[in-house]
Chains A and B, each alone.
Chain A
Amino acid sequence: MTVTAPNPAPAAEVPKSSGTRLVDRVFRMRELAILVVFLVMIAVTQAGNSEFLSEQGIKDLLLNATILVLVATGQSLVVITRNVDLSVGSTLGISAFAAGLYLQDGGNPVVAIALAVLLGIGFGLLNGLLVSFGQVPALVVTLGTLYIIRGIDSIWVGSRQITAADLPDGFVDFGSGGVSAVPYLALIALAVLVATAYCLRQFGSGRELYALGSNPEAARLAGIPVRKRILIAYTFCGALAGLAGALYLARFGNVDSSTGNGYELTVVSAVVVGGVVFTGGSGSVYGAALGALLLTSINSVLPALGVSSVWVMAINGILLVLAIAVDRIVALRVASALKKRNARHG
């Protein structure tokens, strides 16, 4: 019932031999729209405050978005299969603390990151198993694991805290450093994003995620291993939440038992604003990443324009509702445009 994307004029016939595919073009339009909103917002801000796009300004913008982009990328995969993972905030928090604790004891940073990712994979597997084999609605299961993981985190961490002073200097430098204005962390996120998008598009199992989100019963009848695919989506989502935990540690150097609290809702907002349809089957990780970039940028834009940051939440909410409304309207238009094409084809 929801196609996410504006349709090119219905009369435009796609040239049969060219590689341009209608479905893809339609998605790109949706992403383009977010990109335009983002660029306009940046341009307006820059016009109002010329300091905004300094090297440090750009760096901050990208750094702020990095972690959300990573988690949103993982979340998109799950949402595409018509599920959701609400436990990502808890997973991020516990992975960050685990990595921090290991580094505090003089561990190797690479191993610390791997540790965080493994922890994330573990929780992702747990979610995936519960959802795919337990046949329980994802919303409920992952709400459960959200609290379970947060509970374990609270008991384990207690009132302890990890600060930048406990971490090796190299790790902290890595978290704030970069190639001129582009932080290392953003490069990592970008690499993950591009690789994920490529796999989703180029491999059968990636397309199968879309298929089973689009029509689960048909997916079963088409012989797609539905449970396995859902398991993979959750595991990947967990892994990225773990990785995001490690990067969070590197970026902020400060982790306690409440790290990542409530983060899942920001992630889901980013994904939906980015055009990944909540009922599954359509959207792209690029869209989700743009959604994440847009949402985090608002945090920097408002202060730069002298607007109180109390508006941030309200604006995020408006964007979310707008995105859904636009999707719905566009879906209706696409449907009627397709019907017309249909009629012409007899």
Chain B
Amino acid sequence: MTHPSDPGPAPVLALKDISKSFGAVRALRDVSLELFPGEVHALAGENGAGKSTLIKTLAGVHRPDAGQVLLDGTPVAFHGPGDARDAGIAVIYQEPTLFPDLSIAENIFMGRQPRRALGRIDHKATHAATAGLMRRLGVELDPDRPARGLSIADQQIVEIAKALSFDARVLIMDEPTAALTGSEVARLFGVVRTLREQGAAVLFISHRLEEIFKICQRVTTLRDGAWIASEPLDGMTEDDLVRRMVGRDLDELYPKQDVEAGEVALSVRRLTREGVFTDVSFDVRHGEIVGLAGLVGAGRTEVARAVFGIDRWDAGEVEVDGRILTNGAPSTAMAAGLALVPEDRRAQGLVMDMSIERNIGLTGLRTTVRAGLMDRGAERSRSLDWAVKLQVKYARIADTVNTLSGGNQQKVVLAKWLATGPRVLIVDEPTRGIDVGTKAEVHRLLSELAADGVAILMISSDLPEILGMADRVLVMHEGRLAAEIPRSEATEETVMAAATGRAAA
């Protein structure tokens, strides 16, 4: 490993030959990492490559089985998150860890409040210090406001303020941009650059490769828990990085097969739900992948929910293979051969504490029942079958779903619905928050399903995905269908123009 542009400062924090196992799973094997002051360092790897374990080791949550954590060159042992914090390491987790009932000021200084005589908290100083931090970050947040109700972006600002408040020398950010809009990302990057200029070391994790190239100087890649490379990003291409992460040249990310479209499978006519979407009509044919694009909040997910019967519609009609669906009845939709893979897999797609086997089995409860009792054997073989088909990576089929990485969880949701043998499949953001390798697999799978005659409606905010996978693109704008664009004419420009309401339908 080389660090060319470093005129020789010592790493502020380093991992040396770290190994960590959870039961039989080896999460990290002899991983090394060096963080220098004044650099933003990317940590790249697919889901399940060991990034989270590495972060938690740096944060003092996990203790390594072997290897050393070096702070300023001296080995240290963190016995808990408090130790790491006292050493100047701040972690901003994927899901913000705030106290909703407490004020922003208290959130920032919890456990380290400025004190007056007799150990009493100095509320005034806490308030003033918080106001100062907010000024430094250039944001207007009232220090006395409770954290409840803050947007994800503002929650992240509070987390960053927390890191600033104890002059963190190392800032670790785990997918900070996953839930942010473009302008919020820009603001965040501004803050990160400032921190770097002030001499902090930043470890940055993101699935968005372009962000890595935008803000980071060096990158360390992990694959299956092993260290692959640490190198400067200068001169690297996205393809190089993907190759490191996946370990092979990525087969096409969008392996779309050309399929002759068949009969109309799903027909939505003048569907309206008051105040949510209006007069939405479209058809999806067997063998076709139809992309549903639009800005967040345009009503795409809402249309999908109504079609599947989760929400009621006020006017219009939905037909699956000529059968008219009952308003607000998911069970008739399922019986007609409709399946919906929801956007939020944690909240809507999976029972996180249940096993993989049971989760996949949930949609088959009707078919795997014998004489009124569950046929556990049938459930298991059905689940195993699908888990294998989709190449879900797991230790045992009886493991709970929350032990899986994000990409594998998504595969389980897919398996659960594919096991019903759907004729029409609606997928909502099928690859959000999952890594490139799994993404390509999900795309291959969708393409194969279409080739088998399944009609697919794919909602996605990922434009390249829409353009790469869809035979036709429907674009929604403020609750209405704004455009229908055939594959040949679909470009980022035409889709975005329709999505932002700049083009006539």
Residues on A lying within 8 angstroms of B by beta carbon are 3, 13-14, 16, 19-23, 26, 201-204, 207-208, 210-211, 213-215, 217-224, 277, 281-282, 334-335, 338-339, 341-342, 345-346
Q: Decide if A203 touches B123 in the complex (CB within 8 Å).
A: no
Asked if B351 lies at the interface with its beta carbon under 8 angstroms from chain A, I say no
Q: Is the CB of B111 within 8 A of A204?
A: yes
Closest chain B residue, CB of each to CB of A21? B144
Known: A21-B103, A222-B97. A335 touches B148 (CB 8 A): yes
Determine whether the beta carbon of B148 is less than 8 Å from that of A338: yes
Q: Tell whether B151 is near chain A: CB-to-CB under 8 Å.
A: yes
Collect the chain A residues with CB atoms within 8 Å of residue B81's CB: 220-223
**A residues in contact with B80, CB < 8 Å:** 223
Q: How far is the CB of B396 from chain A (nearest CB, A)?
A: 24
B214 at interface, CB cutoff 8 A = no
* Residues 55-93 of chain B, each 1 if its beta carbon lies under 8 Å from chain A, else 0: 000010100000000000000000011110100000101
Q: Offer 20 A-B interface pairs, CB within 8 angstroms, sorted by A.
A: A14-B145, A16-B127, A16-B142, A19-B127, A20-B144, A21-B123, A22-B103, A23-B146, A204-B119, A207-B106, A207-B110, A210-B102, A214-B100, A215-B97, A219-B110, A222-B85, A277-B101, A281-B100, A282-B101, A334-B148
**Is B52 engaged at the interface, CB distance under 8 Å to the other chain?**
no
Contacts A22-B146, A223-B111 given; does A218 touch B98 at CB 8 Å: yes
Contacts known (A22-B142, A204-B113); A219 close to B99, Cβ less than 8 A:
yes
Q: Provide the residues of chain A in CB contact with B85, threshold 8 Å.
A: 222-223
A19 and B110 contacting across the interface, CB-CB below 8 Å: no
Query: Which residues of B are found within 8 Å of A281, using beta-carbon distances?
Result: 99-102
The answer for the CA separation of A283 and B80 in the assembled complex, in Å, is 29
Which A residues are CB-close (under 8 A) to B154?
A: 342, 345
Do B100 and A203 touch (CB < 8 A)?
Answer: no
C-alpha spacing A201/B120, complex, angstroms = 9
Q: Apart from A3-B146, A203-B121, A207-B110, what are 19 other A-B pairs with CB-CB below 8 Å?
A: A13-B142, A14-B144, A16-B142, A23-B101, A23-B106, A23-B144, A23-B146, A26-B146, A204-B115, A204-B119, A218-B98, A219-B110, A221-B61, A221-B91, A223-B111, A224-B111, A281-B102, A342-B151, A345-B139
* Chain A residue with the shortest CB-CB distance to B113: A204
Q: Chain B residues with Cβ under 8 A from A210's Cβ?
A: 99, 101-102
Question: Are the C-beta atoms of A217 and B97 separated by less than 8 Å?
Answer: yes
Smallest CB-CB separation from B61: which chain A residue? A221
Nearest-neighbour CB distance to chain A for B130, whole angstroms, equals 10
B131 at the interface (CB under 8 A from A): yes
Which of A14, A21, A339 has the most chain B CB atoms closer than 10 A to its own CB?
A: A21
Q: Are A342's CB and B150's CB within 8 A?
A: yes
With a CB–CB cut-off of 8 A, which chain A residues contact B123?
19, 21
Cross-chain contact A345 with B144 (CB below 8 angstroms): no
B124 in contact (CB, < 8 A) = yes
- Does B8 lie at the interface of the complex (its beta carbon under 8 Å from any beta carbon of A)? no
CA distance A20 to B111 in the complex (A): 22
Is B140 interfacial (CB 8 A cutoff)? yes
- Taking the complex as formed, is B497 at the interface, i.e. its CB lies under 8 A from any CB of chain A? no
Q: Which residues of B contact A (CB under 8 A)?
A: 59, 61, 80-83, 85, 91, 93, 97-103, 106, 110-111, 113, 115, 119-121, 123-124, 127, 131, 139-146, 148-151, 154
Of all chain B residues, the one with the shortest Cβ separation from A343 is: B151
> Given the complex, which residues of A lie within 8 Å of B103, measured CB to CB?
21-23
Q: How far is the CA of A210 from the CA of B150 in the complex (A)?
A: 19
Q: How far is the CA of A208 from the CA of B119 in the complex (A)?
A: 14
Q: A221, B110: Cβ atoms under 8 Å?
A: no
C-alpha spacing A14/B142, complex, angstroms: 8
Known contacts: A223-B82, A335-B149, A339-B149. The answer to whether A203 contacts B119 by CB under 8 A is yes
Chain A residues with CB below 8 A from B120, complex form: 202-203
| A22 with B102, Cβ < 8 A, contacts A203-B120, A204-B121 known | no
Contacts of A208 in B (CB 8 A): 110-111
Question: Which single member of A207, A224, A282, A338 contacts B113 (CB below 8 Å)?
Answer: A207
Residues of A within 8 A of B145 (CB): 14, 22-23, 338, 341
Residues of B within 8 A of A203 (CB): 119-121
Are B144 and A215 in contact, CB atoms less than 8 angstroms apart?
Answer: no
Please indicate which of the listed interface residues B93, B141, B144 has the most CB atoms of chain A within 10 Å of its own CB: B144
Per the bound structure, the CA–CA distance linking A131 and B145 in Å amounts to: 32
Which chain A residues lie closer than 8 Å to B100 at the CB level?
Answer: 3, 214-215, 281
Instruction: Name the distance in Å between A12's Cβ and chain B's nearest Cβ.
Output: 11
Tell me, rounded to whole Å, the shortest Cβ–Cβ distance linking B157 to chain A: 10
Residues of B within 8 A of A338 (CB): 145-146, 148-150
Determine the distance from Cα of A19 to Cα of B151 in the docked complex, in whole angstroms: 26
Minimum Cβ distance to chain A for residue B317 (Å) = 35
- Are B98's CB and A215's CB within 8 A? yes
Check if B121 sits within 8 Å of A3, measured CB to CB. Answer: no
Chain B residues near A345: list those with CB within 8 A.
139-141, 154
State in angstroms the CA–CA spacing of A213 and B91 once bound together.
Answer: 22
Q: Which chain A residues border B139 with CB–CB below 8 Å?
A: 345
Q: Which 7 A-B pairs rank lowest in CB-CB distance, beginning with the nearest?
A: A223-B82, A338-B149, A218-B97, A281-B101, A214-B99, A22-B144, A214-B101
Residue of A nearest to B91 (CB): A221
Decide: A211 and B148 in contact? CB cutoff 8 A: no
- Smallest CB–CB gap between A313 and chain B, Å? 31
User: What A residues does B149 contact at CB under 8 A?
Assistant: 334-335, 338-339, 342
Given the interface contacts A204-B121, A220-B81, A223-B80, does A215 sit within 8 Å of B99 by beta carbon?
Answer: yes
Q: In the bound complex, what is the Cα–Cα distance between A47 and B140 (angstroms)?
A: 51
Q: B102 — which chain A residues lie within 8 A by C-beta?
A: 23, 207, 210-211, 214, 281
A201 to chain B, nearest CB (A): 8
How long is the Cα–Cα vector from A222 to B148 in the complex, in angstroms? 18
Bound-complex Cα distance A345 to B145 (A): 12
**Among B101, B102, B106, B110, residue most surrounded by chain A Cβ atoms (within 10 Å):** B101
Q: How long is the Cα–Cα vector from A335 to B101 in the complex, in angstroms?
A: 11
Question: A224 contacts B110, CB within 8 Å?
Answer: yes
Nearest CB on B from A327, distance (A): 13
Q: Which of A202, A208, A339, A341 has the most CB of B within 10 A?
A: A202
Which chain B residue has the least Cβ–Cβ distance from A225?
Answer: B82
Q: Which residues in B have their C-beta under 8 angstroms from that of A26?
A: 146
Asked if residues B111 and A222 are in contact (CB atoms below 8 Å), the reply is yes
* A211, B101: Cα distance in complex, Å: 8
Q: Which residues from B are CB-within-8-Å of A346?
A: 140
How far apart are the CA atoms of A224 and B131 in the complex, in Å?
24
Closest to B131 in A: A16
In the assembled complex, which residues on chain A have CB atoms less than 8 Å from the CB atom of B150? 338, 342
Question: Which one of A16, A215, A220, A221 has the highest number of Cβ atoms from chain B below 10 Å of its Cβ?
Answer: A221
Give chain A residues whose Cβ lies under 8 Å from the Cβ of B131.
Answer: 16
Contact A3 B110 (CB under 8 A): no
* Most chain A CB neighbours (cut-off 10 Å) among B99, B103, B127, B139: B99
Closest to B150 in A: A342
